[in-house]
Structure 1
Amino acid sequence: MIYHYHIGYSDLGNAGLSGALSPDLAQLTNLQYLEVYENNFTGEIPSEYGNLTSLISLDLYNNQLSGSIPISFANLQSLRYLRLNSNALSGDLPAEILELVLWGNLQVLNVSENFLNGRVPSTSSRGSFNFFNFLIFPFSHTNFVDLKD
């Protein structure tokens, strides 16, 4: 028997959880808030989370997550808050995630205290980051370049 749940909010923050994040959470297609911060989750962020297109807030900060930020997060056009800080994420910050600032609703992006690289444009052909409410890029362990036009 298959059950369909209409869960909109999942707060598992600071719950003492560990292990890998479950890709099965992506089956909760009505989920708007996924809060799994301040636990001991390890491994990569499941790319399936990019299918949670109703998400408004995704908080995965203060865990031990590694690997890259899934490019599938570019599908999260409703996302307003993305906090991935204080993990061990590495690689480049996908430009498509930054485009959520210009095209989508993303207002808060915190990727500080990871091992990320990349370029952060000060403007693009479609707009500017001037009206972005809260953009935190890493102060340590990272190498970002702010490009001026």
Structure 2
Amino acid sequence: MTQDSDHTLPDGTLRFLPSRLNRQPVIVLGLTADEMWITVVLGAVIGAGLGLGIAILFQSVALAPTTLVKCTALGLIVGGKLLRRHKRGKPETWLYRYLQYSIATRWQLLTAWVGGADLVRRSGRWSTRRSLRP
């Protein structure tokens, strides 16, 4: 009996359920590709604004792209560490639902575009409508 036959039934189906087939691979600092791009874009946007302000302040055009690149790299390093710390022990879709919930509660105009209307946003006590029997 080979090791391959240990995992398959006689009809060719698998005995086990692969649980990590559709997960995105971790590529940089514990981040998936989507999470990495989110941190890179946020770092670049902050770096562009900061670089433009520094370039105007010091009247040197060369400072804008330098600041942009440095803020992008710093954003990836710091953002990777922070996201890895916040993601620990949470489901895979936590970041996306957190962003969706934040946008849905803060900017109602974007709720339809982001899909925040599908979220359950009720606060208060929940009941199971069960009665206690003695």
| TM-score, length basis structure 1 | 0.21
The structure with the largest helix share of the pair is 2
The structure with the largest strand share of the pair is 1
| TM-score, length basis structure 2 | 0.23
Structure whose alpha-carbon radius of gyration is higher: 2
